[in-house]
Structures are given as structure tokens and as C-alpha cells.
Amino acid sequence: MNDIILEMKGMEIAFPGVKALDKVDFTLLKGEVHALLGENGAGKSTLIKCLTGVHRMDAGTILLEAKPIRPSNTQEAQRLGISTVYQEVNLCPNLTVAENIFIGRQPMKRGRIDWKTMNKRASELMGLMGMDVDVTRTLGTCSIAIQQMASIARAVDVNAKVLILDEPTSSLDENEVQHLFRVMNDLKQRGLGIVFITHFLDQVFAISDRLTVLRNGKLVGQFETSKINKLELVTSMIGKDINVIYSLKKAQPKEDAPQVLEVDNIGIPAKVEDISFDVKKGELVGFAGLLGSGRTETAEMLFGVTHPTKGEITVHGKRVQLKAPLDAILQKMAFCPEDRKRDGIIGDLSVRENITLAVQATRGFLHPMKRKEQEELADKYIRILSISTPDAEKRVGELSGGNQQKVILARWLATQPDLLILDEPTRGIDVGAKAEIQRLMLEMCEEGKSVIFISSELDEIIRCSNRIIVMRDMSKAAELDGDTQQAEILKIIASEDEKEVSA
């Protein structure tokens, strides 16, 4: 077929402890917008990074206009005609809009940069995209929409054949999104192939011609957008987990169990709105919803990472002000963050030090635990969580993802928390470790601790939760019973009109 512009076949890549891409195929036609979908860790960005030469794939072929390519870096991919516009715009904020479009290829006059011509041409390019912008403005002072357009203008002007838009709409308002879509349609007419990565499903239906869904590094399928409905799409993204190995018994909090946490109407305007819920002793509350639905933002407010400007948080019946994570820890809370590498492990410290860190933080550095105490604590949790490490003095950075996750869990269990907030604790780790962590959560509930469990995988949420809170569009969409069917939750997540359901 002549109109296939890009084809990737049998893409495979493995990172330590996890197979990030497993025999993934992807085809892009000339003049189409192709949505690439999947939750975090599904392999979208890994696939794109293979295409743009950031990662080296272990197996697979890439054909650009039927010719095999293997770009070794981004510049090479760009020269071949594959341009990427990233979510955090990859331009220089300190240069003007015009310069960002033309840098490296500025028009010259008598050996000097011809700023006048450059600004004029930049104005024209932006004009073509329907942007009436003062191109001499410093890029950093412009809105994200303009920055993105500048980025697209640059990509298009260097003769791109394939344009990859990585989450371009996440910081745009409705008008700006519509505008971007007009530009995308226009570029489509000109024969570009556009890969559109997003987690806004409405936008997928609004703009894309076809779509490809990935999950856990595997290809779920490729669909014509017009022939799939939203529910089917959401199901394919977060629905049934094929890897159920263990059967689990849900926690059974007593009817009259006391409230551990009561959250009343907290929010940060323009970020998260009006979240209210409560958690009982011994209960596991699941947070479902797509990426960017406000799950993590809620957890961060609960743990004092960000500060709600309104509403009240009550812990054990006492109203609290959480200025920093330490305040939350002192309230017997614990938080395993989503990004293990960035916010979780202290890579160069030993397993022992990582496990004792939070306990030590609550005691202050002047009241150190004895070395023996530390070793006992570390060994205890290495045993309980069956962390596979030669000994407690091993650098955490050298462990596999699943074991790192367990070390972070151990850090928090060691503080004897009453309430654990786990943000995507099972992402990017292998199936065995996943089931183990789920089992652990339920054991903790048995012991009378409470757990808030955030996950993209509906399956595990339903399997573990006593109650399920569904998040959508940065607010709480529904609160459901733990026995709710998956289909019902999917319906709420996929729902167009939030007001209908939230009742």
C-alpha cells in the first residue's frame, strides 16, 4: 500500500525487571490522525521513544515510506522527517517565538542574521495556523497554546512527514483545543501523518481517524475510531486484567468502625475541586479514574504536598493543618507516590537506610535508632514483604522495580501508619509482585489499618476495594459500593455529562 507512511512491526524492548514493549505493531497512514492510547506505563512513550531514537529497541523494524530506518537520536529522526511536539514544550523559553521556529536555520543577510525577514516569515507561518501573534515576544511569556503552535510550526517548516503530538492538549483550554484541531485537520490535508497521544477520550473521538490501544506493553488492538464506542475503548484500556493469579478476600471492616479520615470539600481552584469522602478503620477505599482525573492531586493534598485552599481534613476526629509531608506522617499517614524513581527511592542509599528513613524523620536526627534496631527493622520488613535482596546493605538503586516498590512500602509500614495512601503501587512491576502487593494491602486492612488505593487498573480496584471513588475531570464523579460491576464504573468514566451520574 502506498499511503502507509510509517510502519512499526514487532517492536520489543525490555528494561530491568519489566518488558516495556512486547511485539507491538503500529501503522500510520498518510493524511490521518492516529490516536495512541493507553494508561501510564502501557508503553506509549516507550514506543514513541523507539521511533525518535531515544531508546534502542531490542527487536522490531521501523519502515518510513517503505524504507527501513533506525534513527539513533532525535536529530536523525528529525532529518528523516519525524518531528515530535512534547507535552512540556521542548523549546527555549528565553528566545522569541520567531527564533524558536527558525533557530539553526535563520535567514541570513550579508553574514548576519536577518531578523526582519525571520520575524516576517515567522509571522506568516503562525498566521497560516490562524495565530495572530507578536512573534518577537519571548516564548516563555506566551501561553502554552502559542508555545505548542510555535513548536508545530517549527516541525512543519522542517518538512516533517510524521508529526507526533505527545499530550498536546493537557494544558489547553477548550478554545485552544478547538484551534489545535483545526490546525491538525489542515496539516492532515497537506498529507502529514499525525500521531496523537492523549488521555482525553472525547478528543480522540473528535479528531482521530484510527486509534491504537496499548496495555502493559502489549498491543490491545487497532481500531477505526468511527467503529468503536467510548465504553469499548475504556474497557480495552483499563478493563479486564488477564493476569489474575491469586484469588483475594476483601477486607471486612466492622460496621461500627471509627472514621480514620474525613475529607470535607477540599480543593485548589483550577486544579482539583470539592473532594469529599471518608475512610473507616480497616477499610480499603479504591480511587478509580483515568490518568489526570485528579486522583494523584487528591492524594497530594491529603499528604501535605500541596495545600488545599478550602475545605477541611479531619484525622481521627481532629481537624488538621498539613503544611508539609512530615505533618501528615505525624498524623500516622503514609504515601507511596506514583513516580517511584523521582519521589520514592533514594537510589544511592542502602535498603536499610531507605526503610528506616521515614521513621527516623519522625524522630528527628538527634534521636537516632540504634544500628541494631535499624537492622532488625530492615530485616523484619525484608522478611515480611519478601524483598529479594542479598542483604539490607544493598543499594536500593540496584534492585528491580517490584523490590524497590516493596522497599518504599516497607518504609511506610515501619512508621506504623493508620492510613496508607498508595498511588499506582503496582504499575510497571511484574505480575507476581503485583499480586503480592495487593495481598499485602488487604492484610494491612485486616490488621486494622486503612488504605486508599489509587490505580488505573479497574480489575484490581474492584478486587480489593470496600468502596470505590470514581474521579473524572479533576473532581469526584461517584462513590460506589465495592461490589460494583466493572461496566458500571466504565460507564461513569466514559460518561459525557458528569452531572447525570454524580447523583
The window from 57-65, 233-241, 335-343, 476-484 that contacts another protein (CB under 8 A) reads 335-343
Distance CA 20, CA 307 (A): 35
Residue with Cβ nearer another protein (1 or 270): 270
CA within 13 Å, CB half, 182 = 11
Distance CA 15, CA 232 (A): 30
What's the min distance (Å) between Cβ of 145 and another protein?
A: 6
Q: Which of 233, 279, 313, 329 touches another protein by CB under 8 A?
A: 329
Q: Does 18 bind another protein (CB under 8 A)?
A: no
Residues 106-165 that bind another protein (CB under 8 A): 106, 108, 112-113, 130-134, 136-138, 140-143, 145-146, 154
What's the min distance (Å) between Cβ of 337 and another protein?
A: 6
Distance CA 284, CA 65 (A): 52
Q: x/- contact string, 19-58, with another protein (CB under 8 A)? A: ----------------------------------------
The contacts of residue 76 (CB under 8 Å, 6+ apart) are 53
Q: Does 87 bind another protein (CB under 8 A)?
A: no
Q: How many residues bind another protein (CB under 8 A)?
A: 67
Residues 170-209 that bind another protein (CB under 8 A): 175-176, 179
Q: Which of 87, 203, 314, 360 touches another protein by CB under 8 A?
A: 360
The window from 100-108, 243-251, 434-442, 494-502 that contacts another protein (CB under 8 A) reads 100-108
Residue with Cβ nearer another protein (420 or 442): 420
The window from 25-33, 62-70, 280-288, 361-369 that contacts another protein (CB under 8 A) reads 361-369
Q: Which of 124, 347, 416, 447 touches another protein by CB under 8 A?
A: 347
Q: Which of 91, 194, 420, 469 touches another protein by CB under 8 A?
A: 91
Residue with Cβ nearer another protein (318 or 365): 365
What's the min distance (Å) between Cβ of 211 and another protein?
A: 26
Burial 353-380 (b: 16+ CB within 10 A, else e): bbbbebbbeeeeeeeeeeeeebbebbee
The contacts of residue 277 (CB under 8 Å, 6+ apart) are 263, 285, 469, 476, 479
Q: For the residues of 298-363, what is the DSSP string, one character each?
A: HHHHHTTSS--SEEEEEETTEEE--SSHHHHHHTTEEEE-S-IIIII--TTSBHHHHHHHHHHHHH
The contacts of residue 120 (CB under 8 Å, 6+ apart) are none
What's the min distance (Å) between Cβ of 291 and another protein?
A: 20
Distance CA 370, CA 383 (A): 20
Distance CA 255, CA 124 (A): 68
Q: Which of 40, 74, 314, 502 touches another protein by CB under 8 A?
A: 74
Instruction: Give the residue among 222, 153, 229 at the shortest CA–CA distance from 4.
Output: 222
Q: Which of 69, 257, 369, 384 touches another protein by CB under 8 A?
A: 369
Written as one letter, the residue type at 326 is L
Q: Does 307 bind another protein (CB under 8 A)?
A: no
In eight-state DSSP terms, residue 370 is: P
Written as one letter, the residue type at 226 is S
Q: Per DSSP, what are the bridge partners of residue 9?
A: 61
Q: Which of 344, 401, 402, 482 touches another protein by CB under 8 A?
A: 344
Report yes or no: 467 and 80 within 8 Å, Cβ to Cβ: no
The window from 161-169, 237-245, 353-361, 461-469 that contacts another protein (CB under 8 A) reads 353-361
What's the min distance (Å) between Cβ of 56 and another protein?
A: 14
Q: Does 454 bind another protein (CB under 8 A)?
A: no
Element (H, E) at 37: strand 33-37
What's the min distance (Å) between Cβ of 147 and another protein?
A: 9
The contacts of residue 38 (CB under 8 Å, 6+ apart) are 44, 213, 214, 215, 220, 237
Residues 381-410 that bind another protein (CB under 8 A): 391, 398
Q: How far is CA 351 from CA 341, 354, 357, 378, in A?
A: 15, 5, 10, 7
Q: x/- contact string, 406-435, with another protein (CB under 8 A)? A: -----x------------------------
The cell for 222 is 487497532
Question: Using CB atoms within 10 A of its CB, is residue 400 exposed (0-12), middle (13-18) or buried (19+)?
Answer: middle
Q: x/- contact string, 260-299, with another protein (CB under 8 A)? A: ----------------------------------------
Residue with Cβ nearer another protein (143 or 226): 143
Question: Which residues are near another protein by CB under 8 A?
Answer: 74-75, 78-79, 84, 90-95, 99, 103-104, 106, 108, 112-113, 130-134, 136-138, 140-143, 145-146, 154, 175-176, 179, 303, 305, 324-326, 329, 335, 337, 342-349, 353, 357-358, 360-363, 365-369, 391, 398, 411
